Amino acid sequence: MAKIATTPNNKIIFVNPPYERIAAGYDFVRHITNRAPSLGLLYLAASVREHGYQAAIIESDIENLDPDQVAQRLIEEKPAFIGITLFTVGVWQAAQIARKVKKQLPNTIIIVGGPHISSMSMETMQRFTEFDIAVIHEGEHVLPELLAHLQSGKVLEAVNGIIYRHDGELKRTPPAPSITDLDGLPMPAWDLLPNFPDTYLPAIYDYPQGPVATLVASRGCPFLCKFCDTSTFGAKVRANSPQVVFNMMKHLHVNHGIRHIQFVDDLFLASKIRTLALCDLIIENKLKMTWSCTARVDTVKPDVVKRMKQAGCWEISFGLETGSNELLQKMDKAARVEMSEQAVKWTAEAGIRCKGLFMLGYPGETTETIQQTKAFTRRIPMTTMNLTKFTPYPGSPVYREIYGTNIRDDHWEKMNGMNFLWSPEGISTQELDKEYQNILKSFYKQHRVMHKYVVMSLTNPTHLIRLSRFVAGFVKAKIRSYFDGRKGVLIEEENHL
């Protein structure tokens, strides 16, 4: 497929395929889970629109669409191009959509990109022949160039950063340069999201006030934590200027009524100068918004967090991972437990909430390290704890170490951090599952933590409403289970995983 005849229209529909695997019977959890749109697709849609293409976005999970419904919508719309964003966990569902569409619309060109493609492009293209072209790494510059080549029937080998099919063979072009001038990119196309911002809520208790939007102010990370997949943006850090970040915040506030921003950068605090400049802009211009961000513990300084608080910072998420220094070392994390403790303390003292991101089951985890983590989570002044089940994501250094032992690529569709696909020597996945519950309970049952949640529920009706819907759904599911003879067991049928 080096040359493609001129396509019938200039319509491109972007798809965020369904990722969420909620077992039948557990639908009520949707009331409290994260409903953030793909910023990648918003950037891509804005970028192709600037080049004259007509863009639309389907957010499958947020719109509650299954693969068949997504495919049906695409078939009805008959776009010339479809652009699918891929996390490892969503590849199979995306392929299901692509297969259905291809049957009805054989001339529609299906392009894939995203974190999974940045790390597993060749394997994915070999395995799923329904994907026509893969765009590796950032797409804002490559995609419009690719579409222009496709429309004019020019050969694709001139487009850098892609994999395409030619006479039944896969061809890979040289990598495209990474985008250095982030300020030059058009603002994400929030206007293309149906019902934005109302239906795009983060997880319950993850924001002080709605409506909420996500933003990314920098790309890239030079560190090499072994569990992390940095293949999309690479090691070189690039950033928007504080003025452009401020402009985007103001745009969201004025035009979409957004009151809270979640920054999803890997290293929001990488530059103290940039962070303080943004805080100054927010304070000087009296922008009344709250915001949260993620940071490495070694970038936290008391003067910075104090200024951030004055500028509306509500919560900082830290990748604390574990309470064991030995494990941190095995992960190649530069931080140590003592450093984490200090950063969380400074943040709490500044009046900013601390969310700790932890993982359980990393290679080297033992019953002793689990106890260390449990004690650590109770010792530090953290307000929220997020615990994921260790998953070796393609693109992470640890994936290459583990692959070929007892993890197989068939596990892609389980890679959402909610399944133990692998267990360290000496601990079974069942034991890990039990400890997973124990650690969370031991943290959330503390009075000081519960108190904060009660206050939040009472002061912010959105949380209370979401919580009530969740509880009502749970009760209904329980009652239904008795009528159906399942005696309190909520799962209605085995999840297909």
Site residues, ligand SF4 (CB under 6 A): 221, 223-225, 228, 230, 266, 296, 319
From ligand B12, ligand SF4, none, which one binds at residue 225 (CB under 5 to 8 Å depending on kind)?
A: ligand SF4
Instruction: Give the DSSP H or E segment for 359.
Output: strand 353-360
Pick the closer one to ligand SF4 by CB: 224 or 287: 224
The Cα–Cα gap between 450 and 230 comes to: 35
From ligand B12, ligand SF4, none, which one binds at residue 388 (CB under 5 to 8 Å depending on kind)?
A: ligand B12
Binding mask 430-469 for ligand B12 (x = CB under 6 A): ----------------------------------------
The Cα–Cα gap between 450 and 428 comes to: 31
Pick the closer one to ligand B12 by CB: 232 or 240: 232
Is residue 87 at the binding interface for ligand B12, with CB under 6 A as the rule? yes
Q: For residue 33, with 0-12 CB atoms within 10 Å meaning exposed, 13-18 middle and 19 or more buried, which class applies? A: middle
From ligand B12, ligand SF4, none, which one binds at residue 88 (CB under 5 to 8 Å depending on kind)?
A: ligand B12
The secondary structure of 238-296, three-state, reads EECCHHHHHHHHHHHHHHHCCCEEEECCCCCCCCHHHHHHHHHHHHHCCCCCEEEEEEC
Residues 381-410 interacting with ligand B12 (rule: CB under 6 A): 388, 393-395
Is residue 346 at the binding interface for ligand B12, with CB under 6 A as the rule? no
Is residue 55 at the binding interface for ligand B12, with CB under 6 A as the rule? no
Pick the closer one to ligand B12 by CB: 317 or 383: 317
Is residue 215 at the binding interface for ligand B12, with CB under 6 A as the rule? no
The letter for the amino acid at 484 is: D
- Tell me the backbone φ, ψ of residue 276, rounded to 5 degrees: -65, -35
C-alpha dist (Å) from residue 351 to 93, 143, 197, 296, 302: 43, 43, 28, 18, 11
From ligand B12, ligand SF4, none, which one binds at residue 19 (CB under 5 to 8 Å depending on kind)?
A: ligand B12
From ligand SF4, ligand B12, none, which one binds at residue 140 (CB under 5 to 8 Å depending on kind)?
A: ligand B12
Contact 163, 171 (CB under 8 A): yes
- Tell me the backbone φ, ψ of residue 133, rounded to 5 degrees: -135, 140
Residues 265-294 interacting with ligand B12 (rule: CB under 6 A): 266
CB of 299 to ligand B12, least distance (A): 16
Is residue 63 at the binding interface for ligand B12, with CB under 6 A as the rule? no
CB of 433 to ligand SF4, least distance (A): 24
The Cα–Cα gap between 67 and 21 comes to: 12
Instruction: Give the DSSP H or E segment for 146.
Output: helix 142-152
Instruction: Give the DSSP H or E segment for 43.
Output: helix 39-50
The letter for the amino acid at 476 is: K
Q: Is the peptide bond before 8 cis (omega within 30 degrees of 0)?
A: no
Pick the closer one to ligand SF4 by CB: 63 or 266: 266
What six digits make up the tokens of 248? Answer: 């985007």
Pick the closer one to ligand SF4 by CB: 225 or 252: 225
# residues contacting ligand B12 (CB under 6 A): 42
CB of 396 to ligand SF4, least distance (A): 9
Pick the closer one to ligand SF4 by CB: 228 or 249: 228
Q: What residue spans of 380-411 are helical by DSSP H? A: 397-402
Q: Can you give the binding site for ligand B12, defined by CB under 6 A?
A: 16, 19-20, 34, 36, 38-40, 43-44, 83-85, 87-89, 111-116, 119, 135, 138-140, 143, 216, 228-230, 232-233, 264, 266, 388, 393-395, 416-417
